[in-house]
Amino acid sequence: MRSRNRIALGAVGALAAVGFLTGCGDAGSSGTEAPAGDASGAGCAPVPGEQLVVLEDDKKLQNSDNVIPAINAKAANPEMIAALDKVSDALDTDKLIQLNKAVNVDRKTPKVAAEEFATANGITSGIAKGPGGSITVGAADFPESEILAELYRVALTAAGYDAKVQQIGNRELYEPALEKGEIQVIPEYAATMADFLTGKTGGASAPPISSPDLDKTVSGLRDAGQKVGIVFGKPSAAQDQNAFAVTKPFAEKYELKTISDLAEKCSGSATILAGPPECPQRPKCQAGLVEVYNFKAGSFSSLDAGGPQTKSALKSGAASVGLVFSSDGSLATS
């Protein structure tokens, strides 16, 4: 799983051979509990295909994990925040998918992909000059974070800063570095960071403050950030969160556009849900699908979290529906 510790698979609140699938046809045969509830309907057997499509989360199971710039409060100034907000204004999920495709599929470097995107989307135009000086933009250790960090570097350079990107690692490493000012900026994810900071300041028993409502999530995030000396820019429309994908031929055969469609038409014995081993118990994975949508798969196949095993199982016809990440470059249509 990616190092940003996605809360959607946390206890609380996008290719491997298909040989990883063992006994997918029998409920619970992959080493996990059989799905909760009655799945006695016919269900929807897998349909192989190369193009994956994400089903709309029409009942808002997932929280608002929008990309947002996080900034050391002592380093922050209006010109810096305005420059970073230009990046947020240019991003949405489809564009983030294309950026990930450029790096993970087309094999461009994060730097090149970011610079091409910045040019095509006019990110540097009209940026006001700030006071200048050296700025270190942190990046977590996965490509999407590096791409976003490079976009921030481009914008900050246009604002007159001597900006560079430094890969730090996971949140447990880079968040303290941001607090201390060892890095000044890093791309973050609103819901995940909100609950991380709440847990850090309020302890493990602190209730999560993230929700499907972006405004509420960001309001809670800003309050939590004030306690540790971190401010946040404008959230983008780009989200990287748990999503549920099927092949395009599967969606066409069963006439599916939303998860509600999936629940209505495909609850039953023939339907195979694929995801990470913890998915059946997680509130943003299978447990949430049952609770929010009343979707009951016939069996669960224990694979990975939005990775090559799950995507390979979908494409080969070994799984009906699988957990992916909403900004995965493999979801690009061109």
Instruction: Name the residue with tokens 């990883």.
Output: 20
The span from the CA of 157 to the CA of 151, in Å, is 10
By the 8 A CB rule, do 48 and 316 touch? yes
pTM, two decimal places: 0.86
Residues 58 and 70: their CA atoms lie apart, in Å, by 29
Q: 274: which strand partners?
A: 301, 322
Q: Above pLDDT 90, what percent of the chain?
A: 83
Residue-level pLDDT at 11: 39
Residue 192, classed as helix, strand or coil, is: helix
Round to whole Å and give the CA distance between 24 and 271: 10
pLDDT at 12 (0 to 100): 37
Q: Distance between CA atoms of 69 and 29, rounded to whole angstroms?
A: 43
- Range in 49-53, 163-167, 200-204, 240-244 the model is least confident about: 200-204
Amino acid at 222: R
Each residue of 267-303: pLDDT tens digit? 999 999 999 999 999 999 999 999 999 999 999 999 9
Residue with tokens 């420059």: 83
What domains, with CATH codes, occur in the chain?
7-61+241-331 (3.40.190.120), 67-232 (3.10.105.10)
d(CA 42, CA 304): 26
pLDDT of residue 37: 41
Q: Give pLDDT, residue 41.
A: 80
- For residue range 8-17, what is the model confidence (pLDDT) as tens digits? 444 333 323 3
- Eight-state DSSP code of residue 66: B
Considering the chain, what is the average pLDDT of its residues?
Answer: 89
